[in-house]
Chains A and B, each alone.
Chain A
């Protein structure tokens, strides 16, 4: 964060790093957002068709949610690593 302000003083390399970090995590979030939307959409459809399966499906739903959500964090971690190391 402080790097962002340092960048305003003309430190272009830090500015570039900050922008790359933001864009990288943002793009990661796009993919995971679509995936999570898919999971919950399918869950709603499944329960609407067969409400008696709800209990069984809930566990699978959360597993899928967590697996998909983790993708953002891989992006975040990769971004952080690149931000710190480069």
Chain B
């Protein structure tokens, strides 16, 4: 008792510890609210995109490679006819395909080409080009683990940005558009 009386600050120690704990919990709660644990940041950002050699959806005998797409930036949108969230994203892609200012390449992921063609016929095709990865092996090299996912790849073939989950007008305005404009600035 005497000890505490001599050091008046001592009696506030429990309060300070309690306040620190509360702060920890509040930070944890806010973090959980603003971060979705399903969306894991890709280690491939600012790294060269993996090489690929994949057939075109419309002409499966023709192949598209990474080298074919070098020279100008493009968007690579991973989708599939079986993917529910891709249906949510689809109208957004239809609305924005010409506003991006760069090609939008569809990456049909673990899908039967016939199903993908039927899906695009029914809903409309927002893509300037569609490539197919039926086995999904190439997608592993891209770090794909769900659809939809969208990659922004620059003229040198480097992945500059990745969005996991459906693109929304909000995400496009806040994240994707500024990244595309920044690439255009670099290009000049």
Task: Say whether A associates with B.
Answer: no
Q: Chain B interface (Cβ within 8 Å of chain A)?
A: none
Q: Chain A interface (Cβ within 8 Å of chain B)?
A: none
